[in-house]
Amino acid sequence: MFRKGLRRLTLGALLVVSTAALVAATGGSASGGFVTAQPFTSHDGATPPNACPGFGVNERHYCLVVTTYSNLHKGGAVEVDLTLQNWDQSALTNPSATLTTLNNDLAKLSFIAADPANCSPPTGSSITCSFPNIPGVGSASGPNVTPNTSTVKLYFASATDSATAVHFTASATAKESGNDNTGAANVETQTVSDAAMTFDDNTTDTLNNEDATVVLPKAPYNTPRLHTTLGNAFLDFTSGSPAFIAQFSASSGVPCVLNVSCAGLDFNTDLSGAAGGTFSVGNQILWTADVPANNTNILAVHTYDPVSITPSAPNTLTTAGTKFVNCDGVVFTDFKTNPQANLTLGQTYFVRNAATGGGNTSFQVSATAKGSLINVNGGSSISGSCVRIIGDKPASEVTKACTTTSPPAVPATPPLLCAAKLNNTTVRVYLWDDANGHVGY
């Protein structure tokens, strides 16, 4: 489900002289989500059963894999994937799969949609989906071959009842090309006996500070609110299409960057499954959190998703677009095939002399705000994330048009911060932005 690197947002609180700082960081990392994909693979139903793909057994070598996702919250949307794998020499024709809930568990779910939309409406506790013909792998069929596959994703609304899990069984049928005239006796079945989907039941502190759902292009599941009890934090956004899994978690304490020292709350937002371009000026993200502070002078440090950067000796770096001109720092995430002897992955550097031209942004970097410019190795591209301090330009990045119960209006030009005092020790902070990324440091 996770197409790109992990996208996160970090929020932390601090007092620096008379300034409280809400620290937000986002950018790309490859791991960290707490929702777990759980694949369950079929068998042929023989006694004893033969696990697919059944090499050495005189049968069609194909598998049905049911994938569920653990720790999605009840009351939101959930996903179950049906995947057919063809390991056989010949094509599978007229394949289909039926997903059935055990113990009438379908009563705990409401079917919303399928992608692609080639499933029949639920009948009792079952849903049947058809698949296109799946080509065979030819004479190389065997354990070391990559199978040809086809997947249907099923989306449901989960019920807010006392159940902590839903259990599925599933079966698939298919024929081999060239045998289609031999009738139903030539159809062989693969069966998944029990595929469990476990909900986040919010019974432990860890789960209270983690929230996840499937975001769908269908109301009300396209505008979810993810929540953690730590910091009473919320994540709100409008989805794009296709569907994706959104995750939000909180922990305490995080070191900051660019000479901003912070302590307090750390909020991680993973929207990595969203299609590229989902979030924009017209489709922004809103983070809300209650932070320990005694005034509303708020800063944010936001580390965006990694982009491609081209180094040129002696010390110039260039990236496409103009957003990098507003960056205060950069953290390099991948040197790829161009090692940089003078730079360290994961360290945040100050951006210097940023300028735009020809649709690109060029800049230089230093280890301190006014330090020596660092030389780079020219050649092929590397990856890095823009780090931006938000709120140090009050005229354009800060508004007072919010209350403890209402965020500011969506800004025409993000990012935008707003803070309102809940009491003398706590401030409610809102941050609008049009991109997200990774936490980290």
Is residue 235 pLDDT above 50, yes or no?
Answer: yes
Residue where a domain terminates, one of 157, 174, 200: 200
258 falls within a domain: no
**194 and 320 assigned to the same domain:** no
Q: Helices in 276-402 by DSSP H: which ranges?
A: 394-397
CA 306 to CA 25: how far, in whole Å? 12
65 and 180 in a single domain? The answer is yes
Query: What's 156's domain CATH number?
Result: 2.60.40.290
Tens digits of residue pLDDT in 389-400: 888 899 999 999
Residue 82: CB partners within 8 Å, gap ≥ 6? 64, 65, 66, 97, 99, 129, 151, 152, 154, 170, 172
Predicted local confidence at residue 268, as pLDDT: 77
Last residue of a domain, one of 168, 200, 232: 200
Contacts of 358 (CB under 8 A, 6+ apart): none
Q: Is residue 26 part of a domain?
A: no
- Candidate from 85-89, 286-290, 315-319 with smallest mean pLDDT: 286-290
Secondary structure (3-state) at 239: coil
End-of-domain residue from the set 149, 180, 200: 200
Q: How confident is the model at residue 318 (pLDDT cuts 50, 70, 90)?
A: very high
| Residue 6 placed within a domain | no
User: Taking the chain, what is the end-to-end CA distance rounded to the nearest angstrom?
Assistant: 25
319, 172: one domain? no
**Domain presence at residue 430:** no
Domain that holds residue 176: 36-200
Asked if the structure places residue 105 within a domain, the reply is: yes
| 3-state SS class at 105 | helix
Nearest to 310 by CA among 320, 318, 322: 318
Q: For residue 194, is pLDDT > 60?
A: yes
Q: Which range (138-147, 257-266, 370-379) has the least confidence?
A: 257-266
Q: What is the pLDDT of residue 294?
A: 87
pTM confidence score: 0.82
- Tokens matching residue 47: 């006694």
Do 321 and 180 share a structural domain? no
Same domain, 47 and 174: yes
SS3 content of the chain, % helix, strand, coil (to 5): 5, 45, 45
Instruction: Say which residue, 57 or 409, is predicted with more confidence.
Output: 409
Asked if residue 437 is part of any domain, the answer here is no
- Total count of domains within the chain: 2
Cβ atoms of residues 306 and 384 within 8 Å: yes
- CB within 8 Å of 381: residues ≥ 6 apart: 308, 309, 310, 311, 336, 338
**Has residue 252 been placed in a domain?**
no
Q: Would you say residue 274 lies in a domain?
A: no
